[in-house]
Structure 1
Amino acid sequence: MEENVLVIPSLNPNENFLDLLDNFKSKIAENNIKLSIVVVNDGSLKKFDAIFEKIKEKNIVVLKHAVNLGKGRALKTAFNYILNETKNLKSVVTADSDGQHLIEDIIYCLENSNKNLDTLILGKRDFDKNLKSGKDKIPFKSKFGNKMTRWIFNYLLGLDINDTQTGLRAFSKNQVKDFLEVKGERFEYETNMLIDNKNLGYKFKEVPIHTVYIKNNESSHFNPIRDSIAIYSLFFKYIIVAILSFAIDISLFGIFRIFKFTILNATIIARVLSSILNYTLNRNKVFKSFNKKSLLKYYILVIIQMFVSGYSVKFLHKVIINENVIFLKIIIDLIIFVVNYYIQREWVFERREK
């Protein structure tokens, strides 16, 4: 019989965690679901050892970190254990230990995972409905962090995910193996998981769950400053590659103009040289695509860009005679850069869904 596993990372839990687990086990038995539980003690203080011993007495597997290594590492520790110890694994579902995730929502996500293999199931909280109710309002750090991350995901990755910070996720055995290799040790791991899920060609599916925050989310170990920096540092590489390529391109263009190259010729030679670096970095570091057709697509795009840039600068230089040609090229190429990003993401380095 195929098995499912619930993974719960925990750091310094209170006694309520025991009641939560009892409720989980009771509901699992009522629904006749093949679901085992793995709890990861992520370096909790020694005074919490008694709680974890009681968890073991409930026939729940407890894995232990000697020191706090972070939520990402705790999840990977559990994934590694599950792959080694579960013979007929079907799906894994992750949840938090603070009571935010109800057992009915966990089961709902698991059922969706079993019906949609190779799909990352995300438990989506309804932030707007929660706020309108006037009760149990979402803490500012959670609301702000989710909205900011959602905007970045939508703009940079083309992923329209409503709840990017949800800890309630379910996925199949194949994904568990791939998620073991995802970078990140703390909260940034869950963001990396979303990015790699797209890069690996897996699908996404959001399912509605209850929105629960207990005592203003006091038990959360998410540090909005430290962990937000870690999360958003993932996106710096997009900007760095663009700036580096642009700097090389514009510098070469300026040098060629000094040597009396025509605007069009200077544009073509500079773009060809800078594109070699740009393609390599975008392919290996940014979009992480190894599609064999990406090189051909990329240079089709480069050729189109070269002529659009060259003729646009040439035209504007004639119309605005006194304007510096380098300044005109910077303006034109900045516009092209924005359009180019979307074309590269959706066409050149596209990833086919599995």
Structure 2
Amino acid sequence: MAEKITDTWLVIPLYNEEPVIAQVVREAREVFPFIICVDDGSRDNSAAEASAAGAYVVKHPVNLGQGAALQTGIEFVLNQTDAKYLVTFDADGQHQVSDALMMRNTAEEKNLGIVFGSRFRGTPVESGWLKRITLQLVAYLSRHRTGLHLTDAHNGLRLLRRDAAGAVNLTQNQMAHASQIMGQLAATKLPYEEVPVHIRYTDYSRAKGQSLLNSINIVVDLLFR
């Protein structure tokens, strides 16, 4: 049995992920027993599935956007727990628990305030060439805007120490939150590191067809805001 990590909470924004969320939560809880899912006005049984699998669940009565869900989850961890770290983690099965554990251990060993995951270090990226180019453009623009030297600036898998999480105040609810959180974390000047992670592009996540559009929206945000 894997060692249980009790100083770290997973924060999972949740919107219409009924087919997969129970499996995501069950798998994660084998290592991270404490998980907060923020149901962002789902129209299906996502919240009930997450709760039955063992997650704490907070509900937004209407869909507010991923940024709002992340902010609610971060505030829950800071106000309701004494966690040392939190990890932002996707609900659709793309993130791996082993990567989250590696990020937490890296932060412990090196006294880091922030650990960013990168799809472009380590194993080859499974996504198409257009998405890879778009993500690399996002990273280039983000480096110039924030000063953070990252290869994958908007990967949703990130670890925040408690002091870093306290600096996050997301007011951009849709995809613009991805740029906002980077700026706020850069402003903390806390020590950080980028580590390789593997994103699983499953048939389920590909069928949703949102990933490339989200990346393009981030590019537009970085260019015109």
Tell me the TM-score range normalised by the shorter chain.
Answer: 0.7 to 0.9
Matched residue, 2:9 = 5
Larger helix fraction of residues? 1
Question: Does 1:151 pair with 2:140?
Answer: yes
The answer to whether the 8 A contact 1:121-1:205 is kept is: yes
Matched residue, 2:107 = 113
The answer to whether the 8 A contact 1:91-1:170 is kept is: yes
Matched residue, 1:53 = 48
Task: Compute the TM-score of the two structures, normalised by the length of structure 2.
Answer: 0.84
- Aligned-pair distance for 1:14? 3.4
Structure 1 segment 327-346 matched on structure 2, within 5 A: none
Segments ≥4 residues shifted beyond 6 Å: none
Q: What SS does structure 2 have at the residue aligned with 1:161?
A: coil
Label 1:172 to 1:66 Cα distance change in 2 as closer, same or farther (>3 A): same
Per-residue Cα deviation, 1:137-187 (whole angstroms, up to 9, x for no partner): 4135532331111121234444320111211100111111111x2442122
Cα distance in 2 for residues equivalent to 1:60 and 1:23: 11
Label 1:227 to 1:150 Cα distance change in 2 as closer, same or farther (>3 A): closer
Aligned match of 1:173 in 154, 162, 166? 162
Name structure 1 gaps, 5 residues minimum: 132-136, 235-354
Cα distance in 2 for residues equivalent to 1:3 and 1:128: 27
Aligned residues: percent identity?
22
Amino acid at match of 1:173: R
Amino acid at match of 1:174: D
Question: Does 1:19 pair with 2:13?
Answer: no
The answer to whether the 8 A contact 2:122-2:197 is kept is: no
Q: What SS does structure 2 have at the residue aligned with 1:191?
A: helix
The answer to whether the 8 A contact 1:118-1:174 is kept is: no
Task: Compute the TM-score of the two structures, normalised by the length of structure 1.
Answer: 0.56
| Higher radius of gyration, 1 or 2 | 1
Name structure 2 gaps, 5 residues minimum: none
Structure 1 segment 266-285 matched on structure 2, within 5 A: none
Structure 1 segment 219-258 matched on structure 2, within 5 A: 219=208, 221-222=210-211, 223-224=213-214, 225-234=216-225
Aligned residues: 218
The higher-RCO structure (CA 8 Å, 6+ apart) is 2
Per-residue Cα deviation, 1:214-260 (whole angstroms, up to 9, x for no partner): 236333645345454334333xxxxxxxxxxxxxxxxxxxxxxxxxx
